[in-house]
Amino acid sequence: DIDHLNLRVQKELVEWLNWLKADIGFDGWRFDFAKGYSADVAKIYIDRSEPSFAVAEIWTSLAYGGDGKPNLNQDQHRQELVNWVDKVGGKGPATTFDFTTKGILNVAVEGELWRLRGTDGKAPGMIGWWPAKAVTFVDNHDTGSTQHMWPFPSDRVMQGYAYILTHPGTPCIFYDHFFDWGLKEEIDRLVSVRTRHGIHSESKLQIIEADADLYLAEIDGKVIVKLGPRYDVGNLIPGGLKVAAHGNDYAVW
């Protein structure tokens, strides 16, 4: 175990981070198991190494109901993520992985897309509160891959990417999905839409519909994304828009 309160440990870790930056060329940090030490300590490492980007893994359990499914309201869960960023310094480079969005998406794509509109009408994850500081993802090396600890429904992974790659937040793509699952071209198309239309971490999200079989949202007045099996949505899509990407139970205009 590392004693992060030990001043010598802090000094040596800061020196190592700065060496990684200056000599090796790294410019960002991922804080693994950030619950294992205080945000105050993480702040020391960030302030004294000045990365251009930093992201923390703060993985806690969602609030679940008696049916074994997540509650609609996950405010306490995303508040913990927001609190960490606040303590480390909201004006700096610190962000956190949006585990709230991940957990809700896992269940929503299984015929419960109404979950993607929170009680305030906004996105229910961290991206609904502080999207500039939320790093969204579908799976990572812990949740998916060989560890398989909290995997996204495998037949609906592209719905997850259609969501995070069109929405606010900073999306990241899982190596396995991109290189091993044969999803590179589909993911690439969504990345192209995001890049072409300048969608960014603080883009404006307007949720048009959120029912069991349909989620429809507009981003920055430029892009519309649809998740779910409902086919007839023509009355909700403005005329003249062209489909830019589509796949199993998702489409982007």
Which domains does the chain carry? 58-202 (3.20.20.80)
Active site residue 32: yes
Contact call for residues 137 and 97 (beta carbons, < 8 A): yes
Q: What is the pLDDT along the chain (253 residues), one digit of tens a residue?
A: 789 999 999 999 999 999 999 999 999 999 999 999 999 999 999 999 999 999 999 999 999 999 999 999 999 999 999 999 999 999 999 999 999 999 999 999 999 999 999 999 999 999 999 999 999 999 999 999 888 899 999 999 999 999 999 999 999 999 999 999 999 999 999 999 999 999 999 999 999 999 999 999 999 999 999 999 999 898 999 888 999 999 999 999 9
Catalytic residue among 3, 12, 15, 32: 32
Whether this prediction's pTM lies above 0.95 is answered by: yes
Tell me whether residue 38 is exposed, middle or buried, using C-beta atoms within 10 angstroms of its C-beta: 0 to 12, 13 to 18, 19 or more: middle
SS (H, E, C) the chain: CCCCCCHHHHHHHHHHHHHHHHHHCCCEEEECCHHHCCHHHHHHHHHHHCCCEEEECCCCCCCECCCCCECCCCHHHHHHHHHHHHHHHCCCCEEEECHHHHHHHHHHCCCCHHHHCCCCCCCCCHHHCCHHHEEECCCCCCCCCCCCCCCCCHHHHHHHHHHHCCCCCEECCCHHHHHHCCCHHHHHHHHHHHHHCCCCCCCCEEEEEECCCCEEEEECCCEEEEECCCCCCHHHCCCCCCCCEEECCEEEC
Active site residue 139: no
Catalytic residue among 57, 80, 110, 209: 57
Structure tokens at 187: 């993911």
